[in-house]
Each structure stands twice: as structure tokens, then as C-alpha cells.
Amino acid sequence: MVDNDANYDLLVIGGTAGGLSAAISSLRSGLGRVRVIEPGSSVAFPELVPENKVEVGYGEQVLSIDADEHHVVVTTDQRSYRTRGCLVALRNRNPQWTPPEGVELSKNVSVDELPESLNGQDILVVGYTNHAAELAATAAAAGAGVVMAAGGIDPALLAPAADAVIRRLERERRATILYRAVPDDIGTSGEFPIAYFNDRRTPDLEFDHIVYASKRIRPAASELGVTSAAIESGKVLFLGRPEEGVDAPSGPAWEIGRLLAEACFPELELQETPSTVQRRVRHESVINELRDEHYNATITAFEQRHSDLWVIRVRPDIGGTSHIPGQYASLGLGYWEDRVDKYADAGIDGKWNKLIRRSYSISHPIFEPSGYLAPPDTEELEFYIVLVQSDENHVAALTPRLGRLQVGDRIYLGPKVAGRYTLSAVESPDTAVVFFATGTGEAPHNSMATELLRKGHTGPIVSTVTVRNWQDLGYLDAHRQLEERFPNYHYLPMPTREQDVPKRYLQDLIRDGDIERALGGTLDPANTHAFLCGNPAMIGLPEEVDGKTTFPETTGVIELLVERGFSIDRRNEPGNIHFEEYW
């Protein structure tokens, strides 16, 4: 039973992600009287307060924390409390923390400081901690478009409140979380900062404001007037790793929770530690709970071109699907979903309740049912996907699960469509455009070619693609119709494993003059743009080592184009060879 002499069972000092998590979990564990003391005017995630019936005292400054024979006594500038236990969850800025080398702070690039006006602003939050999640949630709640560059983030190490809010922001498509990417450089475009990312599949993006989330530290015991009696009682604990000069018990959340329970609430049944806490019982009810928690879109079409090649259409629950032809979006399914093959994912027990995310270029239906060229769809996205075959050495995670989907099934759709692989460089309608693709790498070219023709492009357009067999050309009929209707459009498909077709590759189309015959002229870098998407061996991207350009041993399309005077389109160095790393 709870000691009725105590004002509260637990006082949590600080409405941070960790503090709210502790308060909510304590209430769910059976404690009846829990209060959060927040020195500011708002907690980290305000929406969690009414949802979980958390009692919060706003604007209270802690003056001292002492202990008598039975209780902890917390005195603030407003009142005194007696409590069975006290958890300090405040976090201060670490004065020794600095942003990455080379980042220059300005009015649009800051540390920990969001702009006063957030509604309609594009904000990049850089960081992977609870504090970064707090900043991202604050900006999203105020109406900002938020991207959180959280390269290296481990959701299991976030406070449960931060993890839940981040998942909600993703599910409701109010924020984009980049789990692998971080900016490796910050530039400017006029007065606005541009983030250049270390992952090519993440485009260089311009923002109104970039905020770096600093690593936070706990306050020293002396800052809160913690007495030696309080420390010796074992009933006052600090959330977070030990810091120099803090001699009160401290540690990560799961460890502190156990210490609190042992010292202050022996009647509570202790839960397992995070190393063993998992949703291990895979009942259908748990699977449905996970689907509701993560999925935010519905499959509206699932067309099998053959057993291993599909055209999938996805409609999000919230938000539109506006995009530029050539861009990509992310799809995701949980490890809890069944596979179409016999293989088992390595370490499945440790990640069974996690989400698998992959980026896919957005495709395009090319024609409407009425026969007109299809305009960009504002309600659904189309994806062109091939089953990635697994073997003993490599077990594919996502596509074997995508293969089991049906119309009406649920799926995760990333909140932000992105990508710099677009037609932005094609400024003149008489420019020659050549597309090179392998397999489903032609997905973005479907929308790009359609866009050019819809807008009356007069220059020659040549779309080439290599596949294994004729059946692997999922849009063949549509491309043949384009050729019939538009004399400046030419489709050159090349199956490599058909007995009646000579085995050739895209490189051969350049060497043997097929591209130039289709163009009706020379492959001239002065008026031609080349777009490459697919197998890296086909693309043949060179490496730059000590200022020297080195091409791969196997000649790719890029090398052949460079020999003809073309140049690679790079960051801050515009060129006429554009490529997407699709694999």
C-alpha cells in the first residue's frame, strides 16, 4: 500500500523526454500520486500530459531537496512536498559541446534555438538524442515542416516518450526522420542554409533554419540544493550517465527505474531490463497493435507483371503525394510480417518488432484509362518493385514481405518525397534527353519521360533499359504507345537472356551508335543530358583520389560519356550526366 503520510509517491524534477517517460511508466506501474515539477512553461511533449493524466507543476524552481526519516522533502519557490522518491530528470546544455567542425553559426544556423516563428518554416534538426526529438516535436507542433537528421540513432536508447512521439510524427507524416543521414557540410543559397548530406540518396536540401541539438548533461546536485541526507537516503536519483561532481545515484533510465523501485516502492513488481524486454509473444493481437502503431498508408493496387515483378500503388492516410518526376519515397513493413520465401532474417528475435524501411524511386502509370498522358497523381504514389532474391549469404528483408501484400493491406509510407535526380537541368524544350536504366531502375524515367512529353518537349527523348527477359519489362506496352504517338520518343529495351536476342548491354548502345541513330544526330554534350539509374556496374561512377579520377575496372556508361565530352553533375559543379544510386 502507498504510504498515505506522503504528499506524493514520486516527484519528477523536469518535464524532459526522460522525465515524462518516468512519470508515465510510474503511473502505469500502479503509483497513484506522481507529479512532474517543470521549471519552465512547457514540458517536452505537451500532448502526452492529458493523454496520460500526468500532473505537472509549471514554473516551479527547486530550491532544495532534503530527506527526513521516511520521506524526501522537496522545496520549490511555490511550496514544499513530501514524497517517497524523487527523480531528477533535468538536462542542461553542456558548455563544452560544439557543433561539428566547419559549421558556422548564424541567424539561420543555431544550436538548440528554434526560431520564434515556426509556422510554415522548413526546419532541419540535427541530432539523434532525446533532446533532438524534443526540438523536432516542438517545431512540428508549431506548424513547421521538420526533417530530423538522426544518423546513428538507436530508437531503443531513446526515452519511451521520445520514441513514441517520433513514431507518431512519422505516422502522421508531420516529420521526416533520416535514420542514417547527417549533413557533412552546410552551405548557403542567398540567406538560407543548404544541408549537404553524406548519403547521396538524401538530396541536398535548403531550409529556413538548421538547428543542431547539443548533447545535454545533468545538473550537479549542488545546483538543486540536494543535501547529503537526501543523497544518503538512496531515494533521490539523477537520470543520466554519471558526471563529474555529481555524487547522487545516477544512471540510464532502466537502471534508475530499478533503483527507484527497490529503494522507494518495494510493493511494485519489477519489470525486466531492456536487454530482455521484447514483444516476444507473436499473437495476432500484438501484430495488429504494431501495424496500427507504424503503418500510415494503404495498398490501393498490386499488379503482378509476373511473380517477382510488381507495380504497387500506395495512398497515405494523411497528407498529399506531391512530387517532382524522378524523386523517391520510402516504404516500410515490420519484421513481424510473413515472407514469400523460406529464408529467415538473421537476428530476427532481436528486431521482430522493428520496421524495415527502403527508398524506392516513384514510378508513373504513363497513361490514364482514358488514353491521355497521365498527370502527376496528388493522391497516390506508384512503385515498380522487383523481388530481391535471397540466398544463404544474403537474406533480403523488405521485398520478400512486400510480395505478400494485397489490395487493402497496410504499409508505412515515409512522410517526405525527396531526391535531386530530376529534370531541373533540362531547361530548353529542344534539348536531347537520354535515359539509361537497368531493371526497375527505369521507374523514375517513366514519370520523367511522361512529364517531358506532357509539356511539349520537342527534342529527341531516348529511353533505354536492360533486363533479363522480355517479361521483365513491366511498362513495355505503354512505351510502345508513346513511340506511336510521339515521333521524338524512342524506347530501346534490351533483354540479355532471350535466345533470339543478341546479348548486349547499355554500353554497347553507345559504342555501336544505336543511341545516335535514335537521336537522329550525334551524342553531343552541348545539347544532351544523360540520366542513369540502376546497377552501379552499369553507371560506373568514378572515384576521386588525391585529385585524380579513377574509373572502375569494368567500363560503365559514365566513362563512355566522359570520353565524349560529357561531365558528371556534382555538388556545386553542374554537369550533364545525372545518376541515381538505386541499388
What whole-number distance in Å separates Cα of residue 202 and Cα of residue 322? 18
pLDDT band at 257 (very low <50, low <70, confident <90, very high): low
**Which range is least confidently modeled, 17-31, 208-222, 229-243, 528-542?**
229-243
- What angle separates helix 17-29 from helix 160-171, to the nearest 10 degrees? 100
pLDDT band at 1 (very low <50, low <70, confident <90, very high): very low
For the cut 80, the answer to whether the pLDDT of residue 203 exceeds it is no
CATH architecture for segment(s) 432-581: 3-Layer(aba) Sandwich (3.40)
What would the mean pLDDT of 364-385 be, rounded to a whole number? Answer: 93
- Whether 400 and 322 have beta carbons less than 8 Å apart is answered as no
What are 314's strand-pairing partners?
299, 381
Residue ranges of the chain assigned to CATH 3.50.50.60: 8-91+218-264, 109-214
pLDDT of residue 467: 97
What would the mean pLDDT of 507-525 be, rounded to a whole number? Answer: 96
pLDDT of residue 417: 85
pTM, full prediction = 0.76
For the cut 60, the answer to whether the pLDDT of residue 245 exceeds it is no
pLDDT of residue 396: 94
**Across the chain, what does the average pLDDT equal?**
89
pLDDT over 70 percentage in the chain: 92
pLDDT band at 270 (very low <50, low <70, confident <90, very high): low
In CATH terms, the superfamily for domain 284-413 is Translation factors (2.40.30.10)
pLDDT band at 472 (very low <50, low <70, confident <90, very high): very high
- Whether 541 and 556 have beta carbons less than 8 Å apart is answered as yes
Residue ranges of the chain assigned to CATH 3.40.50.80: 432-581
CA atoms within 13 A on the CB side of 404: 14
More confident residue, 558 or 279: 558
Cell triple for residue 557?
556508361
Residue ranges of the chain assigned to CATH 2.40.30.10: 284-413
Q: CA-based diameter of the chain, in Å?
A: 94
pLDDT in tens, 473-492: 999 999 999 999 999 999 99
What whole-number distance in Å separates Cα of residue 430 and Cα of residue 461? 10
- Whether 279 and 286 have beta carbons less than 8 Å apart is answered as yes
- Whether 461 and 492 have beta carbons less than 8 Å apart is answered as no
pLDDT band at 28 (very low <50, low <70, confident <90, very high): confident
pLDDT of residue 581: 66
Please, what CATH class does the domain formed by 8-91+218-264 belong to?
Answer: alpha beta
CATH architecture for segment(s) 109-214: 3-Layer(bba) Sandwich (3.50)
